Amino acid sequence: MNNIFISSKCRILICMIGLLLLVGCSKEYMAERMCWYANKLYAQIIENPDKVSEYEVKMTIGAFRDILRIYPEWDNASQLQFNIANIYFLKKKYPQARKEFRNLQNKYPEQINMCLQAQLSVGRTYEVEKKWDKAVVCYQKIIIDYPVSLSALQLLRYIADYYDDHKQDDKAQEAYAQAINHYERLIKDYVGTQVEATAWEFILDIYKKQKQYDKTLETWQRIIDAHPESNRAAVALYEIATMYLDVLKKPNDAFGYYKKFVTKYPEHKLVQSANTKMESIAMSFPALGLKPPIKPLSNNRGYK
C-alpha cells in the first residue's frame, strides 16, 4: 500500500514538472515547486527513518537528483545535495553518506556553511561507526579551515571532553591546552566582537570543569581589565563574588566583591541579587562583623 502511495506521489511530481513547463513558468519557480514536493517526501524520512521503505528512500533521493539535474545552478542546490547525503546518514548507510557529503564539498566549495556542515556530518558518520581516529581528523579539519566558526570552537572543547570522558588523561590535557590556545588567539585577534566574548566563555568553562578556580578567577579579572565599563565586566565581577561564596567558601571575600560590584555598577540588574547575598552573608556569619551598604535609590537602568 505504501509503495502504491509513494508511486502515485512520484507520478504527481512528474505531471507537475510537465504542467509547469507547458505554462511557461520560470526555472526558479519550477525548481521551488518541485523542491517543495520533494521536501514533503524528505520530511517523512526525517520523522521516522527506520520505518520508511527502501522504495520510499529511492524515490525521495531520485526527486532531489532530478531537480539537481534540471537546475544545477539553482541557489538551493547545495541544500538538496545535503538532503541526499543526510538521507543516507539517517538510514545508517554511512559510506554512501560520506560520498554524498564530499560531493557537496566538491561541487559547491563557495557554500561555506554547507561545506562546514558536510564536513561535520562526515565526522559524525565515523563516530557512530566507532572510528574515533577518523572522526577527529574530520573535526580537526573544521578547526583549521573554519577557525572562527562556532562549530570549531565547540569541537575544540568536544574533542578534549571526549578524551577526558574516556580516561585518556594525557590526550585530554593536550586537547584542552590546544583549545585554550585557540581561544586566546581569537581573543587577541577579534577584540570587541562576539567571537571574543564566546572565546572567553569557552575558556571559563574549561577551567571550571577542571576545577582550576585560580585560573577561573584570573580569567574573570582579565575580562574586567579588558572591558571595564562593559556588561561583561560587571557580570565577571559578580561571578567572582559568587565563586568565593559558593565554591571557595570564603564569605568575607565574597562580601567584599559583592560590595565592590554594587558600588561600581549601581544601575546593574544584578544589584538587588548582590545586596541580598550580602545581607545573607552578614546574617549567617555575624562574627565577621559585616554590614551591607545602604541601598541607593535606583531605577536599575543600564547594564541590561
- With bands split at pLDDT 50, 70 and 90, how would you rate the model's confidence at 3? very low
CA 250 vs CA 198, 253, 255, 257, 293: distances in Å = 29, 6, 9, 11, 19
Mean pLDDT of 172-177: 97
d(CA 64, CA 257): 60
Question: Greater confidence, 16 or 133?
Answer: 133
User: What's the pLDDT tens digit per position in 240-269?
Assistant: 999 999 999 999 999 999 999 999 999 999
Q: Residue 26 — pLDDT band, cuts 50, 70, 90?
A: low
How crowded is residue 94: how many other Cβ atoms within 10 Å of its Cβ?
18
| pLDDT tens readout for residues 203-251 | 999 999 999 999 999 999 999 999 998 999 999 999 999 999 999 999 9
DSSP 288: G
What span, in angstroms and rounded, lies between the C-alpha atoms of 147 and 150? 8
Residue 301, C-alpha cell as written in the block: 537602568
Residue 33 pLDDT grade (very low, low, confident, very high; cuts 50, 70, 90): confident
Cα three-residue angle 151-157-160, rounded to 5 degrees: 135
pLDDT at 23: 46
Where do the structural domains in the chain lie, given as residue ranges? Answer: 1-75, 212-304
Query: Tell me, what's the pLDDT at 24?
Result: 47
**The cell 574586567 sits on which residue?**
224
pLDDT attached to residue 70: 85
pLDDT at 139 (0 to 100): 98
Grid coordinates representing 143?
578547526
| Planar angle of CA 235, 272, 199, nearest 5 degrees | 10
Q: Which residue has the higher pLDDT, 81 or 303?
A: 81
Would you say 119 and 138 are in contact if contact means Cβ atoms under 8 Å apart?
yes
Would you place residue 34 in the very low, low, confident or very high pLDDT band (cuts 50, 70, 90)? Answer: confident
Question: How distant is the alpha carbon of residue 34 from its chain centre?
Answer: 31
Of residues 57 and 32, more confidence is placed in 57
pLDDT band at 95 (very low <50, low <70, confident <90, very high): very high
Contacts 24+ apart (CB under 8 A), 194-200: 195/148, 197/232, 198/150, 198/153, 199/153, 200/232
For cell 547575598, the residue is 277
pTM: 0.83
The confidence score (pLDDT) of residue 295 equals 63
Task: Give the three cell numbers for residue 176.
Answer: 584542552
pLDDT of 21: 46
